[in-house]
Chain A
């Protein structure tokens, strides 16, 4: 249960959500749209056409100063130092224990690093980042000043190019453009959380409503539609993308979470390196796997996973795999039961429901321009 003493924050798109008939819910201190016409229709719209997500609740932090690049590279496990300008990197940020403080995007913009963190972790993250910052780094809170829209789907390039010009067409996956200053500052990256091609667009709050309007004007009315947090979750789950607070948290590490490609042990130092080296040397006791259930019943977070009646794991995320046609889940299971093809059972409300361990992503038909991970372990 969410306990709040302060009123919920609203994004600059609030009136647009209401105009589209959104069902608004409290989420990470914000009043956010969970759905408009329905999760299933919105999910399918993103897979087949294009959808627009208000993700302004995400937190933006900019690191400035002579030590910004080196400091960012010590904060996170992936390489965000020696990367070209205009590159975005997905990375966990770990405690010295190897537990995950948060997962974030880091944008390389000159001698600065622009960090985009989870809404629910923003206060914790900025405190952690300030606490560890050396004297030659300035930590700037850009959260309230920044709004974010994700435009996702096979038609996303067409829509975004109509608003921002053909320059966005040449953006490679996980690269970005940044232009303008003051209220006109804009950052557009070819990134997303859906498994489809798409863009994430960051603008300053005062300009945000007109950006929403221009995007919807550029989309054919029958095609483009707003998409809520409900479908955001079903889309990311089909891709096996981790959700902080479900699949990863401070008690999990990136190696067991199946994102070892984001941990660059060749970096000289970063928070959690020694602990993660130790984990790697001693082997993983459990692994986060994808499951497809052989039933109509949905596995929910917290459901036990069993093998021959012994509990060997727990579900961390579960929902209907709307584009897969079967319920899907992610679960931590003991390593000996984590191989793709292993048959397990999930205890769903008193039933033993058969489930198959499958590689992530579980959905493989998306339009996303995902390169193969450069490093797998």
Chain B
């Protein structure tokens, strides 16, 4: 399983790429594998406010549906519109082409609560 070391993670299987005041968010390789073929990702509009560990959208796979949780609070400044045409990008490229939203953080200190790759691996270990 692919777990980039430079990302932060949530126990709900989102990843976060912090770039200055912005946080790019998607779901992990583990999450896409468990969900199976993703057929629809419902995302907020640019300008929407999201709150840490509150739902910001949903992800429909063929067999099941899951909530997406915001790893940090802030304003949505970009949405990956490619996912509308090809939701399977989440399966094919969870950390790159399958990114979901970018959040302008209102409280960057919230990233302290996120997991590093070692802590996230422990979360996954508990699932195994």
Contacts and interface: CB of A to CB of B under 8 A. Distances in A.
Contact of A298 (B36, B40, B84): B40
Interface residues of A, number: 16
Interface in A73-128: none
Given A298-B65, A319-B62, A38 B42 contact: no
A230 B40 contact: no
Contacts, number: 40
A188 interface: no
A296 B61 CA distance: 11
Contacts of A320: 39-40, 60, 62
B36 A38 contact: yes
Interface string B46-87: 000000000000101011010000000000000000001000
Nearest to A351: B42
Contact of B63 (A296, A319, A322): A319
Interface residues of B, number: 13
Interface string B86-113: 0010010000000000000000000000
B116 interface: no
B77 to A, nearest CB: 24
B37 interface: yes
Interface in B14-64: 36-37, 39-40, 42, 58, 60, 62-63
Given A300-B65, A349-B65, A39 B60 contact: no
Nearest to A25: B63
Nearest to B84: A296
5 contacts: A34-B63, A40-B37, A230-B62, A298-B60, A298-B65
Interface of B: 36-37, 39-40, 42, 58, 60, 62-63, 65, 84, 88, 91
Given A39-B62, A297-B60, A349-B58, 7 more contacts: A34-B36, A233-B63, A297-B42, A298-B65, A319-B62, A319-B63, A320-B40
